[in-house]
Structure formats: C-alpha cells, structure tokens
Structure 1
Amino acid sequence: MKMQLQYKTTRLGKFAYHFRKGNPLVVFMSGFGDFDTAQNFFKIISKLPNSYGILAPDYLNSGFSSRSIKSYTLSDEADQIAKLINSSQANFVILVAHSIGGVYAFQMRNEINHLQALVTIEPTTREIVLNPPRDKSYAEHQSIGPDFIQNKIKELFSEDKAKTFWQTTTKNAARFSEKDDQDAENALRKDSFWRKHDQLNDNIVSMIITESFRKAEYERSEYFNQNSNSKIVTFGSFHYIQWEYPQEIAKIIKNIIQK
C-alpha cells in the first residue's frame, strides 16, 4: 500500500502527514526547513518492507502543513504530533529523527504509546546550541547553504526524484512568509528543552547516527543512555546522512524490529 497524504486540524494549525497503515510503525521527523518529510526520508522508506507502517508528519509553517494559527513552542507542537502517532494504535513504534527532529522526538518520548526505540541522525543537542564545541572539525562543518543542498540532492537522488524533491520544496517554501518562518524559529528558541538537564531514559533503545567528528559530543549528550542495545554509529560526510546511507539506516531500523 502506498503512503497517502492526509491532514489533521489541531488548535495550533493543520498538520500534513504521509501515512501508510501497518505494524510496526516507523515515524520520521525532519530537521528544520521547508522539506516534505516523506521526500526527505524517501531513500530510507523505499528500503523498508511494505508491511511496515509509515508516518511522516510535516511541521507547521513547513512542508504541506499550514501556517500556525497561534503562538506555540516546540513542545506544544510535539504534543500534537504525539497524539497523531498514538491515533494509529500501533503496538510497536520507532522514531527516526534528523537534526532538530531529535528534539521533537526527545520531547515526545514519554507520550508515545509502545515506543521501542529512538533512531536519531545527528540530532540537535543542547550543547551544540548553548555551548558549541571548539574543536576545529566543527568550524570546518559550518552551516551549509541551499546551493550545497540542491547539488547534494542532484548527486544522491535519481534525476526524476531530485527534480520533484526540489520543485516540491521550492513550492512549499513559497506558501510561507517571513513571519511564518520567524514563528517557527521562535517555537524552537523559547522551548523549555534548552533549560532542562534530563536524559533519555534507559528503557528506550537509542541508536545515534553521526559523522565521526561528533561522536564525543553524542557520548555526553542527552540522547545517549545505558540501554545495552544503544549505540553510536559513525558514517556520513555531511549532515543529511539519510541521503548518503539509506541502506545502512534501513538495516538499523529492521534489526531493531527483528530482535
């Protein structure tokens, strides 16, 4: 069964999400930006069995979702997404989160029914935002611009998929104003996550996928725990590792489910 684009109206705005019914349920959370989540993770999704359920929500003020209709925080938005996940009634859930999506996943960890594992791809840590490491490797991997991203999409996706991916992203971005973008940024900045010191509880398997230079950061991060099945896996040459190594990430997801 193919994924279907669906919508859920909430008190914060209308969420768009691609959904395929199934169990286990794999939920994908994007980083900050205009990408449609399903396209962002397409290369992983296409390598998972068709029997797996898929849920790929777009944040407010991005993707196919609407603009927000009131002031909100990341935690407020995470609460609404958690309710959406629970409405699927899956009894085995894995969250796969990239970049700022890791913060959403961290906030939702105690709200999602039957959550078994958190697979994060270079998740945003408190440290990287509040007290960035001074290692020269970080300076060499500074923010990457839209031209770099577009070229990587062309390089790593088929010609048709790359064209559709970029056209969809550009079209979606045009739906939102500078104020909408600012509202989304404010939701991140004022969230209570940055003022807390809690860690991921040990009953959830945590698989952290990162470029090798960030391994030490994640070993001391809120995402690393003492679950015997938790690991930090290093590969990738830039932030969007899901585009470079989808086969390897899909294998990690399948291994968690098959254990």
Structure 2
Amino acid sequence: MDKKYYATKLGQIAYAGKEGKPLIVFLNVFGTMDTEQNFAKVIARLPKEYGIFAPDYLNTGFSGKSNAQYSLTTEADELAAIINGFNAAKVIIVAHSVGGVYAFQMQAKIKNLHALIFIEPTTREIILDPPKEKSYLDHDKETADTDQFIHDKIFALFSDRKANDFWQTTLANEARFDEQSEQELASAIEEDGFWQSSKKLDGKVPVTIFTEAYRQKEYERSEYNNQNTKIIPLGTFHYIQWEYPEEIAQEIISASAD
C-alpha cells in the first residue's frame, strides 16, 4: 500500500490505506515503527476486499512533527474525523499497546463502529500503579534492552527481506525526529485526561483483548473490561501480532461477519 498524507490542524498524518469493506483501522504502539509494518503479518492474512486504514501518530513513523500543542485525545479526535470521512458501513478497530487508549477515546465518535480488538492495550494501572507481582518484574528484566530485544524479535519472526526493511524503516523514522518532537509526544501522553478518568468502555460493541497470560487479571479489572469483553491469553511478548497473526486475523474476520 502506498503512503498517503492527511493535513490536520495538529500536523500532517501519514497512513497506509486502501478502499474496501469492511474498514479495518490499525492503531499502533508509540515509537518509530511504521504502523503498516507492525501489523503486516495480520494484514497479509485478511481478505483482499477489506479496506485498511493504518495511520502513524504525529511525531512518529512517517507522520510529521506536531505544529500545535496537543494531547492524545485531541489527536484521537482528528483520527476519528478522518475515519468518519471514509463513510464506511462497518468499522473494526485493531489497537496495539497505547493504540488502545486512542481507540478508547475515539470509540464513541466513530460512525458504524462494529468491534474493538485490542492487543495488550495500555491500562491506567500499568502506567499509574504497575503490579508488583513476580511475573511483571521478571518480564521487565527480560525486555530491559528494548531496542536489541525488538531487533532480535523482528529478525526471528519476519523473513530476512521484510525484517531488514522493517528495521531500516524504523531507524530512518527515528532519525527524522528531534528532542523537541520527543518532548511533544511525551507531553501528549502525560497531559491526557484519560489517566485521571474512571470511565470504562461502554459495552456497546464487542471487545476482544489478546494478552500474555500473566496480564489476564490486569485486563479483567481494567477499563477495557465490561459485559461484552472477551480476553484471550496468547503470546510470549508484547507484540503478539508478530507471533500469532493468524489468530488475530481470524478474530477480525469473525468480528466482521457478526
């Protein structure tokens, strides 16, 4: 898919996309990864007729630097407006990590939202009061050298050609942004009202959460859990979509058929 660009009042948002039905929206982890590449193994397993919208956040990926002070919520509003502009009859959001917070903030604003599928979405608890259980502490030790850990996982789970492309794109994107961009990004997260809120997902659409088994209870007590939530333990590290793309793709296909 070719990269396209959408000018917003906050800055230029880059995205990979194609027309089709239903519209599958992919929301990324924070960092320099390109959203399309992060979800490439899932996208490759979806029917060709599906539409795709995979944006990079401001100050990340292929998107531009922010040109105004913003928060995660105000950026989510801009993304929701872009999505609604496609006039899709059915929208499914697939959100990884902090993408879950974006999805949480925009879920009431998306027209024809049909399902939410989360991959270890960021919880208030993990940011404000991280669990002290041994499983969490052991996991932190295993992934202490994050860049090297991610590099090794990419080269273990993608073909050599795709791994090289993925990693080189990530490094090139990282080089595009300066310290001010990083500060703007950090501020957008820290100053967002999501963290002080007690609001939970309203349960109007089906919710699926893919998570490593050790985090299951965290999600059971989280803002993402309600009477319409299904939690699926799967994977051995945060990027479950790299290990189990077939299972996630099948969940998208199943949700789209309901």
Structure 1 counterpart of 2:46, from 41, 45, 48: 48
Residue aligning to 2:235: 236
Pairwise CA RMSD? 0.8
Residue aligning to 1:37: 35
TM (norm. structure 1) is: 0.97
Residue aligning to 1:222: 223
Residue aligning to 1:257: 256
Shift, 1:204, TM fit: 1.1
Residue aligning to 1:164: 165
Shift, 1:155, TM fit: 0.3
- 2:4, 2:171 → 1: CA distance? 20
Shift, 1:202, TM fit: 1.4
Residue aligning to 1:188: 189
Listed as ranges, the gaps of 5+ residues in structure 2 are none
Could you tell me which amino acid in structure 2 is paired with residue 226 of structure 1?
Q
- 1:78, 1:34 → 2: CA distance? 18
Q: How does 1:16-165 map to 2 (within 5 A)?
A: 16-142=14-140, 143-144=143-144, 145-165=146-166
Alpha-carbon deviations, 1:81-109, whole Å to 9, x = none? 10111111101101000000000000000
Shift, 1:5, TM fit: 1.1
Instruction: Give the total of aligned pairs.
Output: 255
Shift, 1:56, TM fit: 0.1
Listed as ranges, the gaps of 5+ residues in structure 1 are none
Could you tell me which amino acid in structure 1 is paired with residue 52 of structure 2?
I
- 1:87, 1:139 → 2: CA distance? 43
- 1:42, 1:157 → 2: CA distance? 10
Identical pairs, percent = 52
Could you tell me which amino acid in structure 1 is paired with residue 214 of structure 2?
F
SS at match of 2:5: strand
- 1:10, 1:258 → 2: CA distance? 33
Alpha-carbon deviations, 1:99-133, whole Å to 9, x = none? 00000000000110000111000000001111111
Residue aligning to 2:206: 205
SS at match of 1:141: helix
Shift, 1:182, TM fit: 1.4
SS at match of 2:225: coil
Could you tell me which amino acid in structure 1 is paired with residue 257 of structure 2?
Q
SS at match of 2:172: helix
Shift, 1:4, TM fit: 2.6
SS at match of 1:252: helix
- 1:127, 1:243 → 2: CA distance? 25
